[in-house]
Amino acid sequence: MPRDEATIGLACLTRGNLLLFLPIALLWICLPRPGGENSRRRWAAALLFLAGAALILAPATYRNRLVGGQWVLGTTNAGQNFYIGNNPYNTSGEYQFLPFVSPNPKHEEMDFKREAERRSGREMSPKEISRFWFSESWNWIKAEPSSWIGLMWIKIRVFWGAYEIPDNLDYYLYRKWAPVLRFPIPGFGLVAPLGLLGAALAWNRRGWPRLLLLFMVVYSASVVLFFVFSRFRMAMMPALSLFAGYAIVELATRFRLAFKERKSRWPALRASVLLVLLIAAVNVPVRAQAGSWSLRLAEAVGLPTRSENSATAHYNLALAYAIHAKEKDEDAKLLALAEEQFREALRQEPDHVRMLVELGKVLSRQKRNAEAIEVYRRAAALQPNDYRIHLALGILHKRSGDNVAAAQALRRALRLNPNNLLAARTLEELEAGDRPTAPSIP
């Protein structure tokens, strides 16, 4: 039992999927163990554990009631996250862009809401929206169970793979500027095989090893059920690292005994073979940045490989430059850096719609309207049903003085989203001829 009973509550607020481990931890505390505490002490410990978690979770739940009008434990985006990882568009098990969602915190929740209400034909509360997307995923799973099972296997392989899947920060890009990230520190490709070996070797030990192993199984399953980023593994790393340390000590002990006694060689050999198999399972296929020494070495010896890039990291870096430029009154140098990073991202992924859209925004902020129009046209060809792209084209055409093209684009935006006030107001001003200029692109 943890000494700080509130820790699990704090952890659940940080990573919502840890809520799945809460009842399992309670059951573990309540179960009798040989030579353990009597039943009264176990139940008292369980109540104390639950009270500590409730002390942290209750204020957040009550605030959700005050703000949203519904009792919600944690957040209401579980259904959306489940759909991101379980839908016909997801083939990698990682985060993949949905055609109707902008991967921007400012728009993501509203995009999911808008699409849910469009499909259902009615307005929904946040809780109903989450249930709706759970239902959409389950409908797909029931319709294509074999596809879902294959996707789950991919997610297991990705979760237990050595490659650090980036979210908004990319380890492989930022270590170019952070020397500490270039230190030869053991990564997941070594810690995970050692940790899994340690878990296997410690299974016969009662007490904490089994609880930690249970935690690893439940937590990894809770991530795999949704979608995988490497940062999601961090909550599991303390337990995995303990098992890795145990594996190192146990291997050293077995080899020391093997040198002394012939009969002790088989336990050392079995553990060594298992470690080699686990290293292969975690590290193959070799996923690495294009042109890296590890990728070239793997290709040279004939191992399966998968070339990766840092397009998303360049995109995120460009967004940071663009935001900073706005804070600095459209600083020309920062806008140029943003454009450079967007173009590098698009060099690696030329058909990425969001990167095209954001590059178009930066070009428009630099008053390079003709170039921005061409970029937005490329985005519209790839994603014709995004009203924001047509709205931006309408604004840019109006700004360039092409009122006919502006009106066409704005009407297209309104057909896709009749409730967009900016498109309606801009079109009205265009038709009335009130203003020669156009608003900024949102």
pLDDT > 50? residue 2: no
- Which of 290, 306, 322 is a domain's end point? 306
Helix axes 22-30, 208-224, angle to 10 degrees: 160
DSSP state of 282: H
Q: How many domains does the chain have?
A: 4
Q: Do 87 and 22 share a domain, yes or no?
A: no
Q: Do 373 and 343 share a domain, yes or no?
A: yes
In a domain, 342, yes or no: yes
pLDDT > 80? residue 321: yes
Average pLDDT over residues 187-201: 96
Are 311 and 352 a contacting pair, CB within 8 Å?
yes
pLDDT > 50? residue 107: yes
In a domain, 405, yes or no: yes
In a domain, 244, yes or no: yes
Collapse the DSSP code of 93 into the 3-class scheme (helix H, G, I; strand E, B; otherwise coil) and give the result: coil
Q: Do 315 and 425 share a domain, yes or no?
A: yes
What's the pTM value of the predicted model, to 2 decimals? 0.80
In a domain, 176, yes or no: no
* Total Cβ atoms within 10 A of residue 175: 13
Q: Do 134 and 29 share a domain, yes or no?
A: no
Which CATH number fits the domain that encloses residue 419?
A: 1.25.40.10
End-to-end CA distance of the chain: 51
DSSP state of 419: T
Instruction: Report cis status (omega within 30 of 0) of the bond before 285.
Output: yes
In a domain, 271, yes or no: yes
The pLDDT, as a whole number, for residue 40 is 80
Q: Do 393 and 415 share a domain, yes or no?
A: yes
Q: Do 331 and 301 share a domain, yes or no?
A: no
In a domain, 33, yes or no: yes
Collapse the DSSP code of 101 into the 3-class scheme (helix H, G, I; strand E, B; otherwise coil) and give the result: coil
Rounded Cα–Cα distance for residues 23 and 18 (Å): 10
The pLDDT, as a whole number, for residue 131 is 93
pLDDT > 80? residue 103: no
Between 236 and 100, the more confident residue is 236
Rounded Cα–Cα distance for residues 53 and 18 (Å): 12
The pLDDT, as a whole number, for residue 358 is 95
In a domain, 1, yes or no: no
- Which of 108, 124, 159 is a domain's end point? 159
pLDDT band at 435; cut points 50, 70, 90: low
Average pLDDT, the chain: 89
Average pLDDT over residues 98-121: 85
| 217 half-sphere exposure, CB direction, 13 A CA radius | 11
In a domain, 301, yes or no: yes
pLDDT tens per residue across span 121-166: 999 988 899 999 999 999 999 999 999 999 999 999 999 999 999 8
Backbone angles phi, psi at 203, to 5 degrees: -60, -35
Q: Do 215 and 135 share a domain, yes or no?
A: no
Q: Do 37 and 148 share a domain, yes or no?
A: no
Collapse the DSSP code of 228 into the 3-class scheme (helix H, G, I; strand E, B; otherwise coil) and give the result: strand
Burial of 294 (0-12, 13-18, 19+ CB in 10 A): middle
pLDDT tens per residue across span 329-346: 999 999 999 999 999 999
Q: Do 346 and 391 share a domain, yes or no?
A: yes
DSSP string, 146-193: HHHHHHHHHHHHHHTSSS---SSS-HHHHTTT-GGGGS----HHHHHH
- Which of 255, 289, 306 is a domain's end point? 306
The pLDDT, as a whole number, for residue 438 is 65
Domain span holding position 221: 181-306
Rounded Cα–Cα distance for residues 168 and 231 (Å): 10
Q: Do 128 and 145 share a domain, yes or no?
A: yes
Average pLDDT over residues 171-179: 85
Are 203 and 209 a contacting pair, CB within 8 Å?
yes
Residue 27, both tokens? 């059951």
Residues 6+ apart with CB under 8 A from 116: 124, 129, 132, 133
pLDDT tens per residue across span 39-50: 788 888 888 888
pLDDT tens per residue across span 349-377: 999 998 999 999 999 999 999 999 999 99
pLDDT > 60? residue 4: no
Percent of the chain with pLDDT over 90: 60
Q: Do 287 and 341 share a domain, yes or no?
A: no
Q: Do 277 and 345 share a domain, yes or no?
A: no
pLDDT > 60? residue 73: yes
pLDDT band at 436; cut points 50, 70, 90: low
Percent of the chain with pLDDT over 70: 95
The pLDDT, as a whole number, for residue 1 is 41
